[in-house]
Amino acid sequence: MDYTWHFQIVWDYRAVFIRGAIVTAQITFWATLIGLTLGLALGLMRRSEMVLLRAPAATFIELFRSTPALVQLVWIYYSLPILTGLQLSNTASVSVGLGLHAAAYFGEIFRAGVNSISKGQWDAARAIGMSYSQSMRRIILPQAIRRMIPPFINEFASLIKLTTLGSALAVYELLHEANNLINSTYRPLEIYTVLAVAFAVIIYPIIYASQRLERKWQLRQ
């Protein structure tokens, strides 16, 4: 079978890909910011001795981990306005939705990371008179964060790929732009190939940097 590849078409429409990549990057940025902030709070709440903090955090985390991200996005976009009157734009819905989704996973990463630090470190911090928050900030988290880097990068890479779900809400991220292009050019193979390469080009450097960082920190510990 002979198929003639026409990558020239993709090059002609490069502006479309760049536009899509920018939206993908924006969604990733906001989702990561929300995910990290809320995730840290959730992770710490879930370790609390107080059930009033622990229970809501556990409920949130398990709810978001056990339901499909696509359903979460659709739900936030269509149901939130009905229930609260709060209508977010489609891009904002995806950013917030993926942010909440990521928070559930980041929260578990934080919790596992903090739990992995030996009890002796808490003892040593408390023995010199540190409060809970001083111990956490100065002693526990700096050590725990190093151990969180590999699972965090995993989650971050999958978060970038989850932004493609935005196409379901008509957000002009990479996948949606690519699909539109396919409809007008009938060149799905070329366009999806370039799309895959585009994601690899975004994600691989992050994975590489994290591996370097991990190795550097290992030398120190």
Partner 1 sequence: MKEIMIKARNVQKSFGTHQVLKGIDLDITKGEVLAIIGPSGSGKSTFLRCMNFLEAYDFGEIWLGDQLVGYRKSASGALVKDKPARIAAVRARMGMVSQNFNLFPHMSVLENVIEGPIVVQRRKREDAVAQARSLLDRVGLSAKVDVYPETLSGGQQQRAAIARALAMNPEVMLFDEPTSALDPELVGEVLDVMRALAADGMTMVVVTHEMAFARDVADRVMMMDDGNRVEIDTPEKIFTNPSHPRTAEFLQRVLR
Size of the site for partner 1 (CB under 8 A): 21
- Residue from 19, 47, 54, 146 touching partner 1 (CB under 8 A): that is 146
- Residue from 16, 36, 139, 169 touching partner 1 (CB under 8 A): that is 139
Q: Does 131 bind partner 1 (CB under 8 A)?
A: yes
How far apart are CB 126 and partner 1 at their closest, in Å? 6
- Residue from 50, 120, 183, 215 touching partner 1 (CB under 8 A): that is 120
- Residue from 6, 47, 54, 126 touching partner 1 (CB under 8 A): that is 126
Vertex 113 angle, CA 111 and 119, to 5° = 95
What is the rounded distance in angstroms from the CA atom of residue 118 to the CA atom of residue 147?
A: 13
Stretch that binds partner 1, among 35-43, 74-82, 135-143, 190-198 (CB under 8 A): 135-143
Q: Does 124 bind partner 1 (CB under 8 A)?
A: yes
Q: Does 51 bind partner 1 (CB under 8 A)?
A: no
- Residue from 74, 88, 92, 130 touching partner 1 (CB under 8 A): that is 130
Stretch that binds partner 1, among 31-39, 106-114, 133-141, 194-202 (CB under 8 A): 133-141
Which residues of this chain interact with partner 1, rule CB under 8 A? Answer: 118, 120-121, 123-132, 134, 138-139, 142-143, 146, 220-221
